[in-house]
Amino acid sequence: MKNTLLRVNDVIYLACIWVAGLAIVSMALIIPWGIFARYVLGSGAGWPEPVAILLMVLFTFIGAAASYRAGAHMAVTTLTDRLPDAWQPLITLLVQILMAVICLFMTIWGIKLCIATWNQFMSTLPTLRVGVSYAPIPIGGLLTLIFILERLLFGDQSHRRAVNFELLEDSQEAL
């Protein structure tokens, strides 16, 4: 059961990395196009800036979930490192519980925000619903919550290599 859950979380983690990576690459292509269109072609398009902002929001919330699982998310431990060693497991548990509360807040209120703004459309992108633009908030909260629960149940996974799915398929075919 543990290995199955870890493999599922590996897939979620890799999907987060791909989504965040594609968002940042897309931004890196869209922003120069907007600059080129405005200053070289002389007719600035209205869509590059709002699309780049939406991609940044996607990158931020989905990338933060992946970063949390990888153990690469920012953590300020100046105070907690100075507490007695006997307190460290308790402090670690408290931090995970507080993170879970924040993620629950993001998920629940993010969904409510998406629902409340679903019938509104963005002025800069009239075909895009405002609720869709807020969707990375609850999605990122839920994904981070999954990784927090994983850490609470199975420990820190940041030093474990994610399953190489090609090798896994090759080994299953050999059986």
**Per-residue pLDDT tens digits for 47-91:** 888 999 999 999 999 999 999 999 887 777 888 888 899 998 899
Q: 9 exposed, middle or buried (CB, 10 Å; 0-12, 13-18, 19+)?
A: buried
Binned at pLDDT 50, 70 and 90, residue 173 comes out as low
Stated length of the chain: 175
Between CA 51 and CA 7 the distance in angstroms is: 33
At residue 160, φ and ψ (nearest 5 deg) are -90, 135
Question: Is the model's pLDDT at 28 over the cut of 60?
Answer: yes
pTM (2 d.p.): 0.84
- Eight-state DSSP code of residue 46: S
Strands (E), the chain: none
**Which structure tokens are listed for 13?**
């983690």
Domain ranges of the chain: 2-174
Higher local confidence (pLDDT), 173 or 51? 51
CA-based Rg of the chain, rounded to a whole angstrom? 20
